[in-house]
Amino acid sequence: MAIERTLSIIKPDATKRNLTGKINAKFEEAGLRVIAQKRIHLSKAQAGVFYEVHAERPFYDELCDFMASEPVVVQVLEGEGAILKNREVMGATNPAEAAPGTIRAEFAESVGENSVHGSDAPETAAVEISYFFAGLELVG
Ligand code: ADP
Ligand code: MG
């Protein structure tokens, strides 16, 4: 399988509870490398652009408020099949359905406040990485 890069976000519910290191340990244990990382505080408008694909969903406004409520850690993960592997490490969107040992099973508080974001396909990974990081920031 090819080496891929994917965009990950440690969400406000997790940064607030000081879980950045514990979540990064899950990535590293799975063979994913954190090759770029920064802590930022999104505006609601910036969160809205990031989640534009969900603009028509009933939870969109709540999601944008949540993503702007506290700092987030945005990061690029690299590894073999990183996009799918990260989705496995994250677990299902709803923590009640997430497999044991996954980040969401262990740390998420609800279907909305679910600790992490991960790109879902190569196309979205490329767009999402470039939303947060310049090429010069990705040293591998
Ligand atoms: P994922 O993050 O697993 O890719 P989605 O892309 O479907 O999930 O949704 C994006 C984010 O929107 C979720 O991670 C979660 O924070 C929020 N969300 C999704 N479904 C709901 C819902 N039913 N109620 C509230 N928030 C939701
Ligand atoms: Mg998604």
pLDDT recorded at residue 106: 98
Measured from the CA of 66, which atom of ligand 1 is nearest?
16
Ligand nearest to the CA of 54: 1
Measured from the CA of 11, which atom of ligand 1 is nearest?
16
Is 117 a catalytic site residue?
Answer: yes
Please name the helix (run of DSSP H) or strand (run of DSSP E) that holds residue 77, with its range, or none: strand 72-80
**97 is written with which tokens?**
């359905």
> Which of 10, 53, 59 has most ligand 1 atoms within 8 Å of its beta carbon, as the pocket-test mutant?
59
CB distance 38 to 73 below 8 Å = yes
pLDDT beneath 70, residues of the chain: none
pLDDT recorded at residue 1: 79
Q: How many angstroms separate the CA atoms of 24 and 79, rounded?
A: 14
**100 is written with which tokens?**
């044991």
pLDDT recorded at residue 96: 98
pLDDT recorded at residue 82: 98
> Which of 63, 65, 69, 97 has most ligand 1 atoms within 8 Å of its beta carbon, as the pocket-test mutant?
63
Encode pLDDT of 71-111 as tens digits.
Answer: 999 999 999 999 999 999 999 999 999 999 999 999 999 99
Residues of the chain above pLDDT 90, percent: 98
